[in-house]
Amino acid sequence: MGYDAPGGPEVFRPETLPTPQPGAGQVLIRVAYAGVNRPDVIQRQGFYPPPPGASPIPGLEVAGRVVAIGKGAQPEMLNQPVCALVSGGGYAEYCLADARHCLVVPADLPMDQAAALPETLFTVWHNVFERAYAKEGETLLVHGGTSGIGTMAIMLGKAFGLTVIATAGSEEKCAACRKLGADLAINYKSQDFVEDVKAFTEGKGVNVVLDMVSGDYVARNLQCLAEDGRHVTIAVLGGLKATIDMALVMRKRLTLTGSTLRPRSDDFKALLADEIADVAWPCVLDGTVRPVMDRTFALADVSAAHQRMEEGDHIGKIVLHVAGD
């Protein structure tokens, strides 16, 4: 599915293109399901162009079966069921992936759930556990607790011994966060999350904030942080700019960082995939971490899928059903 010009969800149109052929180190995946992510929406709106060399077709994660391999890819990958992080091209029947960015799907993991894993798993692992170096016994504050990222952050945080505080926009969503294991869920529309965090932590604050809002949330997040706390920004849904108290940063010895995953090099993503395969993927294999699924749409109904994401009522992941597998 592509579009001629940026715009609303209605701009999507089907198109027929030649089946791509895998180059060196690549595999060709016959896509069963593709995940829908906020960056897809922003790309469709014209604000997040694909990096050089990436497919202009949206879609950053897929699950399906490997039907062809390029030179240098491991021969045993052929016919394997995999999920993969890709730089684009997921909203299609066939998608190229770097072989190093694929994870083998276990037999008991449905393909729709497999497609809902890579983007959030890679993003949360890198930002919470690598950039913010969260460790067992620390406390994490995650905004957007019922988003794909938020639900993954809650599950991974609990799996690795963190206390997790999540914010969400309704009592229903807060209940969903608690069901996933959040130790505290705060309705940001009716409560002051800064005061609630202070009360819950007895004034100590949290060690890590995973922030996808930015804007005026940043100053409030810094108030929530404990000494030597780390603030990681992964999206700017609330605005590009923030005004912060640098004296507070100095006094608490805070670290402010952030990242975007899509433009990173293939080699970086390969190293990240290796670490995830060794450390985090076992939590998927044993069932500790499984994606929260919101709704599945047919690929032909991608406009409706984007509309649902933009409305913000979803809890967990939205996926597209591309082909049976």
Tell me the pLDDT tens digit for each residue of 123-159: 999 999 999 999 999 999 999 999 999 999 999 999 9
Between CA 78 and CA 26 the distance in angstroms is 11
Tell me the pLDDT tens digit for each residue of 52-70: 989 999 999 999 999 999 9
Between CA 139 and CA 227 the distance in angstroms is 12
* pLDDT at residue number 7: 96
* pLDDT at residue number 190: 96
Other Cβ atoms within 10 Å of 63 Cβ, number: 31
* pLDDT at residue number 72: 95
The residues of the chain scoring below 70 in pLDDT are 324-325
* pLDDT at residue number 208: 98
- For 201-267, the DSSP string reads TTT--EEEEEES--TTHHHHHHHHEEEEEEEEE---TT-S-----HHHHHHHT-EEEE--STTS-HH
Closest CA to 41 of 4, 83, 11, 86: 11
Q: What is the DSSP letter of 127?
A: I
- Class of domain 120-258 (CATH, top level): alpha beta
Q: What residues does CATH 3.90.180.10 cover in the chain?
A: 9-117+262-321
318: tokens are 């939205």
* pLDDT at residue number 148: 94
Other Cβ atoms within 10 Å of 324 Cβ, number: 6
Q: What residues does CATH 3.40.50.720 cover in the chain?
A: 120-258
* pLDDT at residue number 215: 96
* pLDDT at residue number 325: 57
Between CA 172 and CA 149 the distance in angstroms is 18
Q: What is the CATH number of domain 9-117+262-321?
A: 3.90.180.10
